[in-house]
Amino acid sequence: MYAGAGKLEEAIRLEAQGKAFGKIIEKELEVLDLKSNMRVLDAGCGTGAVTRRMAVKLFPGEACGVDVDPVFIDEAKKSASKEGIKNIRFELGNIDNLKYKNGTFDLSFCRLVLMHVSSPVKTIVELKRVSARGVWSWP
């Protein structure tokens, strides 16, 4: 379980982290080779700092962020709305048991997430199931 779950202070810290590591995140997204019109899942998206960057690169495609924490999802929706990002959605959900059909997304991405799940292998298998192209995780 994630120690900062359910805390607004943690949501604020995650946003600050997203800004502080902006250049690193941009390099990670370059590796993903994101293209317009793709649909990408950001699994364990937190406050959506990375998801929002993805959405800009995918336009008019879609970035979808999923997180188990309702506080983080609420903050993610607020931030995307404030920034005027339309090709994005955030949903509350468990990344080990996603509601999406096989191959729904071109790619699934998770960043700094696997150390917080009970079975990283199970998580990767589920992310691969919903992804046509594959899964990318950091680290």
Give per-residue pLDDT as tens, 22-46.
899 899 899 999 999 999 999 999 9
Q: How far apart are CA 45 and CA 123, in angstroms?
A: 14
Task: Give pTM, 2 decimals.
Answer: 0.91
Between the alpha carbon of residue 82 and those of residues 78, 79, 86, 113, the distances in Å are 6, 5, 10, 25
pLDDT in tens, 55-104: 999 999 999 999 999 999 999 999 999 999 999 999 999 999 999 999 99
Q: What kind and span of H or E run contains 2?
A: none
Q: Residue 135, Cα to own-chain centre: how many angstroms?
A: 12
Q: What is the pLDDT of residue 4?
A: 74
Statement: residue 136 has pLDDT above 90: no
Domains and CATH numbers, the chain: 8-138 (3.40.50.150)
Residue with tokens 């997430």: 113
Q: Interhelix angle for 70-82 vs 8-20, to 10°?
A: 50
Determine the straight-line distance between the first and last CA of the chain, rounded to whole angstroms.
18
